[in-house]
Structure 1
Amino acid sequence: MNNQTNVPHEPASSPRARVLSPAFAALTWRRFLLAHSPEIRPALRVGFGLAIPGAILMLIGHTDLMVYAVFGSVVGMYGRSQHRLQRLKDQLLAGAMMLCAGVSGIILAPWGLDGWALVAGGIFWASASSLTADRYGLKPGGSFFPVFAFGALASLPVEQAPSLGGLAAFTLTALIGVILGQTARFGSTAQDPFGHDPIPWPDALRRATCYACVVLLAGALGIGLQFDHLQWVIAGSVVPLAAGNARGRLSRGVHRVAGTVAGLVVLLGIYYLQLPDLALALAIILLMFPTEGYMTRNYGLALSFFTPLIMLMLELADPSVNAEVLWERALGNLLGVLAGILGALIFDRKPR
């Protein structure tokens, strides 16, 4: 007598059987990897765009200029068109935009720009770079990088004259980014393969106005709450606006906060090692690779690398930075993100 219990088998075509099948599991895993894996080619292009001038700065003993090189390397993030001519046009335009924002910050740094003067500069570059990116279809869109470059470089403690060494590092790194952009090759999965998707003037002007209003709101809140590092509030406020609707802005803001918190944990681990300046400069270069690799795949994960990168580069430029300053910057960033989400709901309700 057979005492075994007969267990009915799932039909091969049933939903449960398909879910449990090895082929389905392999396909699901492949989709997950594609959704969250870094983009290798752009990451290498931007990473080496910082590694080359960064190595030069380390060899000549000027790791304090690494902050200028980092902002110059941002030019490499623009221009992913498969067509080299279009890619060159995009990178030259982005390079001009970044250089104008950064150079204005470098020139104004000896005056110790702060308060409403810093807010006014942030308003100008937020609206101007938004208008430029929209009208010429630059990717990544939005105003974050030009606004942050202006605010960070304008707030650096310098002598009575602008940093000529910083200006040279900034310009050289941007030029290297353009050259590497012309040597790069992108496959069929390249983002924005035609490289150009301009937005009509009325919509571009509306969005630029929204950026200006949001920076004004964030700046007023930062001044009212007496934040000493107002540039972090301003830079954080423009992050959510890159998304096209309320849900996207909230998601981008949450990613920004989560990535910043995770990045601070990474930063504390680096501080625990008590690395010398040369090792910190090398860490900055290495952090640029995953930052760009995940920027379009997983924004929150990218920021977990970008946050310690920017904190370290600013520390090399200003050794007086301590833990209290770092936390105040993080809180300023959080306030800016909240102001950006609130300002977008008030000033730009129309979804894009």
Structure 2
Amino acid sequence: MSSSPSLSAWLRAVFTVGSHAGAHRVALRAGVSVAAPLLAVWALGHVEWTLYAAFGAFTALYGRASATLPRLKMQASAAAIMMSSMLIGVAVASLPDREWVVVGVAAVWTMIVAAVSDVLRWHPPGPLFAVFALCAVASVPVTSNSFRDALLVSGATAIFALAVGCVGHVRPARRAAVAPAMAGPAAGGLTVRKRPGLRSRLHETFSRPGEWLLLARFGIAAAVAGSLSTAFGIGHPYWAIVSAIVPIASANMSHSFVRATHRVLGTLAGLVLAWAILSLNPSGLTAIVTVVALQVAAELLVGRNYGLALVFVTPLALVMIELSHPVDTQTLIADRAVETLLGTVVALGVVVAAWLVARRRTARRRTARR
């Protein structure tokens, strides 16, 4: 784990905007995957299903740069995890004193999904969407039919997203690079290494130096952020949990500081946009069109600059919540700001502590070798 970045390097990383890299295709798939299910639940008169439909549609966000078949496999595994997250969320929501239960469940689920992500090589990596789905669903009231509704709606939406994920093309150069990797023994006397099986991936992942420490960091950050938010009585503690996850998923401490900065600045700017949108009281079809537009904008930017993407992700999350379970707008915005700052501070504390532990271990090893 590297040390913190210099000021100039940090500024460059925070404000650099990457290349477009075909983001319009990903944004189009994501937009269609979100629009159709939300229109369906609206037409059926069940806007309370919005969260189930939206999180099921998040399946489309995985494997953005992969060829069709690898993308389908990745999205299928992500769909299973997203559906499981919502079903766990419904189960937690039905319990008494769920505020503290969800903190413990979310911390454990964070580590499990982080491990799954590493083993299956997800892109984007990490447990962010799954934990968001679990906690958001756990935070809204449930009925006797909620488990059935979550299963059917999220399942149907995920299947639709998988179908949409099969559409699109990979550039010829990309096909040429991907096809041999899936072919096994090649013609002309050339041998191409096969993709490692699940057992090999499990061994490789859990024998990798620092893997168990990384999973522990995820769990600790989620548990501490959620516990502090719940103890302080701040509304929507899952935003603190989600915000604590983001910097932990980074490759090193330098990147963690950049992601944390993106999270805070992007969220604060996004809250201004969210306030403007929610002050217009969008509902029904207007709200759905708004959600789809924000989702497309976010996907156009997330690969280029995470902070810019959050300007649109933030109002997207708030409008989704307002659709499924209306709450006071001012409270919603204030909670999001406070929770984001709290979760980010907790995450950076965990990252720095882990860096200090790793540095001490390295120093001890060097001393032992002398």
TM-score, length of structure 1 as denominator length = 0.82
Partner of 1:74: 58
1:57 aligns with 2:41: yes
Report matched runs for 1:149-298 at 5 Å.
Answer: 149-187=133-171, 188=173, 200-203=205-208, 204-298=211-305
Note if contact 2:74-2:122 (Cα within 8 Å) is conserved in structure 1: yes
1:255 CA drift (Å): 0.6
Q: Deviations over 1:250-279 (max 9, x none)?
A: 110111111111111111111233333321
Partner of 1:303: 310
* Alignment equivalent of 1:45, drawn from 4, 13, 29: 29
Note if contact 1:112-1:157 (Cα within 8 Å) is conserved in structure 2: no
| Residue aligned with 2:340, SS | helix
Q: Deviations over 1:218-238 (max 9, x none)?
A: 123223323232211111110
Note if contact 1:82-1:185 (Cα within 8 Å) is conserved in structure 2: no
Distance verdict in 2 for CA 1:335–1:269, change over 3 Å: same
Give unpaired runs (5+ residues) of structure 1: 1-31
* Alignment equivalent of 1:322, drawn from 320, 323, 329: 329
1:96 aligns with 2:80: yes
Note if contact 1:107-1:154 (Cα within 8 Å) is conserved in structure 2: yes
* Range with bigger deviation, 295-304 or 80-89: 80-89
Distance verdict in 2 for CA 1:113–1:143, change over 3 Å: farther
Separation of aligned partners in 1, 2:70 and 2:324:
35
1:124 aligns with 2:124: no
Note if contact 1:66-1:313 (Cα within 8 Å) is conserved in structure 2: yes
**AA paired with 1:147?**
V
Note if contact 2:278-2:329 (Cα within 8 Å) is conserved in structure 1: no
Distance verdict in 2 for CA 1:245–1:272, change over 3 Å: same
**AA paired with 2:333?**
L
Partner of 2:348: 341
| Residue aligned with 1:288, SS | helix
| Residue aligned with 2:298, SS | helix
Separation of aligned partners in 2, 1:279 and 1:118:
32
Partner of 1:6: none
Distance verdict in 2 for CA 1:262–1:205, change over 3 Å: same
1:147 CA drift (Å): 0.8
| Residue aligned with 1:273, SS | coil
Distance verdict in 2 for CA 1:258–1:133, change over 3 Å: same
Separation of aligned partners in 2, 1:116 and 1:251:
30
| Residue aligned with 1:327, SS | helix
Separation of aligned partners in 1, 2:270 and 2:251:
26
Aligned length in residues: 319
Note if contact 2:283-2:323 (Cα within 8 Å) is conserved in structure 1: no
Q: Give every structure 1 segment of 4 or more consecutive aligned residues whose post-TM-superposition deviation is greater than 6 Å.
A: 192-197
Partner of 1:115: 99
Give unpaired runs (5+ residues) of structure 2: 1-15, 183-194, 360-370
Note if contact 1:36-1:297 (Cα within 8 Å) is conserved in structure 2: yes
Partner of 1:9: none
Separation of aligned partners in 2, 1:189 and 1:227:
48
Separation of aligned partners in 2, 1:141 and 1:322:
31
Structure label with greater radius of gyration: 1
